[in-house]
Chains A and B, each alone.
Chain A
């Protein structure tokens, strides 16, 4: 009940936010939504099923490029091409999941990392279609680049995605996912179809990342292969880790915290990435459960003292 009120207030604030925000902070908010989607989908994959994908941002970039190329070259209507981009990213993600089905741990991380680099190199080199590092111009979703349309679109999509993820991850399916992370063999003995569930998690993460990438690409107008670079993946990972892995709320806290603070620190130039790296190291070193874990621990010790 209490949490319901908190979320209601947050949603209300975000709905009213465009009334007071300047254009620049609108941009920050839209980018934050993008990172929330990226971090949340990475968390659903890594924090729940334990499959550490180190090439997650590339799924966003696949969604973005498919969306952009369908619109620019084939003249597909905007919303349909967004959905097609997301579905394509989902299929690719599932294929990668299928390739990685027998791998675990570091090998899976490396395969996804290598895959993301291969895709990035393809995007750079096949420049008759993707225009390579010069950047592909993405046709707009709406007539006239009205920032408010994009804000509300990203906002609604983020809310929907989070609701859907909650329904999935806080259901028996979420428990199945967690059982995969803890002990795959035991899970399979207890009747979990390991391969199916792993593919399910991969396709879910790919779908959300592709959707986020496609929507965001239309907003930022020009996309380059660096949309899927390793540093973007690391952004998503660090947001999820700092917030707290294995909790949907963690990414919701981590992404705004990290991205907004990065924007505030923008005046210090490249120093902010230094701070981000240091922050991740310190959080993992001293509080591996992230902010959510810290708050939970503090809350429990507070309750214990009252009794």
Chain B
């Protein structure tokens, strides 16, 4: 066993220590305060797992294709809306409609990459591709507005009801979202480690030219990973939609948060996405509870700017 671990080990250790010390301290002041603190931590962990999923989708696209997808958050909304549409308007069972949604999003992603982004030559001049995704974001938001209307809707959820954690009711939908998010991250980890696709992804993230020389079909990896990234964002929407509700602009915040996490965790890094997601989730929920609720989103952005200024390569560098 190595004695000197990577940065992510110490950060994960720091988070765990912080949670233990914080909980002990809060309980020593007042049991009620301790309960609230634990509740916020659980909230942060749960949100963090979902964020990690969305962020890893972005991170793949960014790390592999060097393409900053500003419409990433809108696929979150798209996923939730499609799941809603398949289950309510078409009348399919929830599980099947979720699966169909994921497949549809995967295909949409691949089509976008082939038809729209690749002809713009994002490898040579990425600026134009950013503007395309920016325009795509505007287009999609207004498409949702025209098709689904401006009012928040609730996508279908597998579970309903609450459980009681330390005397505070906690929505089962959140529990499900956190669990599925974590399971999905673990599945992706296994896929990256042991399948052909995962191995070629890692190869391309490390060195595009060398991977091509060794026989990886770069163009295939590009469109597959774009589709996969978008599918992850849609899965995030399906998981978080039921308790955050979905309206045409609801993808904006998760999208920006995915950027924060990718910058924090480094491009193309799954571990980075997971730890960055949990870090951001905890910082946000504690910041909102103890500093200022109105600035919940600002903490993430501040973190982004600080990371970019002081450690632009991200906390964990480039590693899958």
**Residues of A in contact with B (beta carbons under 8 Å apart):** 46, 50, 52, 54, 99, 102-103, 105-107, 109-111, 113-115, 117-118, 121-122, 124-125, 230-231, 234, 237-238, 241, 270-271, 273-274, 276-281, 284-285, 288
Specify which of A109, A270, A288 is in contact with B142 (CB 8 Å cutoff): A270
> Using a Cβ cutoff of 8 Å, how many contacts connect chains A and B?
116
Known: A103-B308, A110-B259. A284 touches B135 (CB 8 A): yes
Specify which of B128, B256, B263 is in contact with A284 (CB 8 Å cutoff): B128
Please state if B308 and A110 are interface contacts (CB–CB under 8 Å). yes
Specify which of B131, B256, B294 is in contact with A125 (CB 8 Å cutoff): B294
Interface positions, chain B 279-320, Cβ under 8 Å from A, are 292, 294-295, 297-298, 301-302, 304-305, 308-309, 312
CA distance A50 to B128 in the complex (A): 12
Most B C-beta atoms less than 10 A away, residue of A122, A124, A234, A281: A281
Please state if B294 and A117 are interface contacts (CB–CB under 8 Å). no
Give min CB distance, A228 to chain B, whole Å: 14
Q: How many residues of B contact A (CB 8 A)?
A: 42
B62 near A: Cβ within 8 Å? yes
Contacts of A278 in B (CB 8 A): 135, 139
Please name the residue on chain A nearest to B139 by beta carbon.
Answer: A277
Please name the residue on chain A nearest to B135 by beta carbon.
Answer: A280
CA distance A118 to B132 in the complex (A): 24
Give min CB distance, A13 to chain B, whole Å: 31
Please state if A110 and B263 are interface contacts (CB–CB under 8 Å). yes
Task: Pull 6 A–B residue pairs with CB atoms less than 8 Å apart, ordered by A.
Answer: A107-B312, A110-B304, A117-B298, A231-B138, A234-B138, A284-B120
Contacts of B134 in A (CB 8 A): 54, 234, 237, 280
Please state if A285 and B119 are interface contacts (CB–CB under 8 Å). yes
Contacts of A121 in B (CB 8 A): 294-295, 297-298, 301
Please state if B305 and A115 are interface contacts (CB–CB under 8 Å). yes
Known: A109-B68, A113-B256. A273 touches B142 (CB 8 A): yes
CA distance A122 to B294 in the complex (A): 9
Please state if A52 and B130 are interface contacts (CB–CB under 8 Å). yes
CA distance A238 to B308 in the complex (A): 26
Please state if B297 and A106 are interface contacts (CB–CB under 8 Å). no
Please name the residue on chain A nearest to B296 by beta carbon.
Answer: A121
B164 near A: Cβ within 8 Å? no
Please state if A274 and B298 are interface contacts (CB–CB under 8 Å). no
Give min CB distance, A179 to chain B, whole Å: 17
CA distance A281 to B115 in the complex (A): 12
B127 near A: Cβ within 8 Å? yes
B136 near A: Cβ within 8 Å? yes
**Residues of B in contact with A (beta carbons under 8 Å apart):** 62, 68, 70, 116, 119-120, 125-128, 130-132, 134-143, 145-146, 252, 256, 259-260, 263, 292, 294-295, 297-298, 301-302, 304-305, 308-309, 312
Closest 8 pairs (CB-CB, A-B): A277-B139, A280-B135, A277-B138, A114-B301, A125-B294, A274-B142, A106-B68, A273-B142
Please state if B301 and A99 are interface contacts (CB–CB under 8 Å). no
Contacts of A103 in B (CB 8 A): 308, 312
Please state if A105 and B142 are interface contacts (CB–CB under 8 Å). no
CA distance A114 to B126 in the complex (A): 20
Known: A109-B68, A280-B131. A274 touches B146 (CB 8 A): yes
Specify which of B120, B142, B256, B309 is in contact with A285 (CB 8 Å cutoff): B120
Please state if B142 and A107 are interface contacts (CB–CB under 8 Å). no
CA distance A139 to B305 in the complex (A): 34
Please state if A125 and B292 are interface contacts (CB–CB under 8 Å). yes
Contacts of B304 in A (CB 8 A): 110-111, 114
Please state if B305 and A284 are interface contacts (CB–CB under 8 Å). no
Please name the residue on chain B nearest to A279 by beta carbon.
Answer: B135
Known: A111-B308, A234-B134, A237-B131. A117 touches B297 (CB 8 A): yes
Contacts of B125 in A (CB 8 A): 288
Most B C-beta atoms less than 10 A away, residue of A105, A113, A118: A118
Give min CB distance, B278 to chain A, whole Å: 20
Please name the residue on chain B nearest to A112 by beta carbon.
Answer: B305
Known: A107-B312, A234-B134, A237-B131. A281 touches B139 (CB 8 A): yes
Contacts of A109 in B (CB 8 A): 68, 130
CA distance A233 to B131 in the complex (A): 12
CA distance A241 to B128 in the complex (A): 9
Please name the residue on chain A nearest to B67 by beta carbon.
Answer: A106
Most B C-beta atoms less than 10 A away, residue of A50, A105, A284: A284
Give min CB distance, B124 to chain A, whole Å: 11
Contacts of A274 in B (CB 8 A): 138-139, 142-143, 146
Most A C-beta atoms less than 10 A away, residue of B62, B116, B128, B139: B139
Please state if B68 and A285 are interface contacts (CB–CB under 8 Å). no
Contacts of A276 in B (CB 8 A): 138
Contacts of B312 in A (CB 8 A): 102-103, 107
CA distance A70 to B83 in the complex (A): 50
